[in-house]
């Protein structure tokens, strides 16, 4: 599932390529493309001007010159793509938007092979759409409060891997970057938050911020063509992964074979020497 670096890469691409364009036509091409809670059909976007883009955690949205926004969650395989003549056409289009700016037009599509992603027209409160109101700030938000986040973690008595995946405490981190974060912080994924010091929790948050920034700089992580940017290009952070998906391969830091365990229906990859419980 795309995590913060992948969603931020898509958001930046859209912000550059479609800000200032007016939506002349919006078509829903699959019944599950639009979230049931959407306050209007996609067709109602016709005439709206895209004024910019925003994101919180793994949620992103298009800001419009309207009293609502177009929210998108990429799910497992959702993609925003600008159709280009020199690239193959998307094959799992769930929604299609015709955009115009002066004499220029372009076609934006929401492509989603597994149909877990969705779009939704929503009103906002304090500039945040309804579906993202429960989502905590991520470390890149100017209002992110590291000390308050540490306090929330310390009040819990749950595994740290479970805690940093909780989008209501700190958003943006998914399974890939959780494993990479804990490896950098030298923390075993099954350690309880109650047993971690404030200093160690600070290191964990700083490591999460660091690894996600590096992933953003490399366009995110692409294991297959289910995640690509708006130009159809893959990210390259997979080449920098230290532990995720590297079971039995040597730890880049000490050479010990990486181990994989499963809890909470998720796989966790870690170095048994660097990340002792």
Catalytic residues: 2-3, 58, 266
Neighbours of 175 (CB within 10 A): 17
The radius of gyration computed from the CA coordinates of the chain, to the nearest angstrom, equals 20
Contacts of residue 167, Cβ cutoff 8 Å, sequence gap at least 6: 57, 58, 135, 136
How far from chain centre, in Å, is Cα 79?
12
Determine the length of the chain.
Answer: 277
Contacts of residue 4, Cβ cutoff 8 Å, sequence gap at least 6: 55, 57, 58, 138, 140, 171, 172, 173, 174, 177, 212, 216
Phi-psi group of 135: left, alpha or beta (phi > 0 → left; psi -120 to 50 → alpha; rest → beta):
beta
| First-residue to last-residue Cα distance in the chain | 28
Q: Do the Cβ atoms of 231 and 86 come closer than 8 Å?
A: no
Q: Which three-class secondary structure state does DSSP give residue 199?
A: helix
Angle at CA 228, nearest 5°, toward 58 and 9? 45
In angstroms, the CA 157 to CA 160 distance is 9
């Amino acid at each position: 599932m795309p995590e913060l670096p992948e969603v931020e890469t898509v958001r930046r691409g859209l912000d550059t390529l479609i800000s200032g364009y007016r939506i002349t036509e919006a078509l829903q091409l699959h019944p599950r493309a639009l979230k049931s809670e959407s306050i209007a059909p996609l067709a109602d976007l016709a005439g709206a001007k895209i004024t910019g883009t925003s994101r919180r955690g793994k949620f992103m949205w298009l800001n419009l010159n309207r009293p609502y926004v177009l929210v998108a969650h990429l799910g497992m395989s959702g993609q925003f793509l600008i159709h280009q003549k020199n690239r193959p056409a998307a094959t799992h289009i769930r929604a299609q938007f015709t955009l115009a700016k002066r004499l220029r037009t372009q076609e934006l599509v929401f492509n989603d092979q597994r149909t877990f992603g969705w779009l939704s027209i929503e009103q906002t409160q304090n500039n945040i759409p309804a579906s993202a109101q429960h989502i905590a700030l991520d470390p890149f938000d100017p209002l992110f409060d590291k000390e308050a986040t540490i306090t929330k973690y310390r009040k819990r008595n749950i595994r740290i891997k479970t805690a940093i995946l909780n989008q209501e405490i700190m958003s943006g981190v998914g399974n890939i970057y959780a494993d990479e974060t804990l490896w950098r912080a030298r923390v075993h994924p099954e350690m309880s938050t109650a047993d971690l010091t404030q200093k160690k929790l600070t290191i964990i948050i700083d490591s999460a911020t660091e690894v996600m920034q590096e992933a953003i700089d490399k366009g995110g992580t692409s294991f297959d063509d289910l995640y690509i940017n708006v130009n159809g290009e893959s990210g390259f952070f997979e080449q920098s992964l230290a532990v995720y998906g590297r079971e039995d391969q040597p730890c880049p830091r000490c050479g010990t074979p990486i181990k994989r365990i499963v809890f909470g229906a998720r796989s966790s990859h870690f170095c048994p020497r660097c990340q002792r419980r």
